Amino acid sequence: MKLAVTGGKGGVGKSTVAYNLGAELDAVVVDGDLGMADLPQRHGPDLHDVLAGRATPLEAVSEDGSVALLPCGRSLAGARKADQTALVETVATVERHYGTVVIDSPAGLRADVGLALLASDACVLVTRPTRPAVADSLRARELARAVETPLARIVLNRVESQQTATDTRVRQLAATLEGPVTQIPDSAVVRRAQRSGVPVRAVDADACATAAFQTLANQVASLF
């Protein structure tokens, strides 16, 4: 299974969802944002090296830490030397060896977002419970449709307790973006996990957010 986690503009928590979804699916997470990598760094070769032909995809996968990760470099020079079109075969190679891959796609609607979607069997669309975020997500949804990547799930992320969507609101969002919705609560546990560079379950296995990510993983896995 190859799954792209995508969204509209930055700030919706896309990378957090990708990292935690990868943890729950026992997947390799690929940091596919060539220009603004956001996932934890690891020692050794990275995605820039792979796309520039300096390393193989399997050499760049790090199994250290809580989540297997194919990290991405931070330098602009590395991004410029990368052959973005090699991403599709890179992801396919990792899938053949590990079985499941989650791609943290770039924010926005750049060309490399489309490549991450093309490399995937399906996508998860992350948004927040605000009108601007949903409007941005509509454009991301159209891009996924244009490259014929099915939508596995919509994630309504960082939902505060007073913002918990009613059934009517969830139905409206599902109809607007044309897909089923899963809510992920905002919590201090999520923020602590982010600061430590670990999935939420490594901080508190019994937290509501951990249960929500487990539910999301089960919902996605049931489609394959």
- How high is the pLDDT of residue 111? 59
What is the amino acid identity at position 200? V
- How high is the pLDDT of residue 36? 76
Mean of the per-residue pLDDT values of the chain: 90
pLDDT one-digit tens code per residue, 104-159 = 998 866 657 789 999 999 999 999 888 888 888 999 999 999 999 999 999 999 88
**For residue 168, is pLDDT > 60?**
yes
Q: Which of 38-42, 159-163, 174-178 has the lowest mean pLDDT?
A: 159-163
pLDDT one-digit tens code per residue, 33-45 = 887 777 888 888 9
What DSSP assignment string belongs to 46-65?
A: -HHHHHTTSS-HHHH-B--S
Distance separating alpha carbons of residues 63 and 117, to the nearest angstrom: 24
Q: Please state the domain count of the chain.
A: 1
pLDDT one-digit tens code per residue, 119-130 = 999 999 999 888
**For residue 164, is pLDDT > 70?**
no
Pairing of strands 2-7, 151-159: unpaired
**Mean pLDDT within 8-24:** 92
Q: What is the pTM of this model?
A: 0.92
CATH label of the domain that carries residue 80: 3.40.50.300
Q: Is 140 exposed, middle or buried (0-12, 13-18, 19+ CB in 10 A)?
A: buried
| Residue-range definition of the domain harbouring residue 216 | 2-221
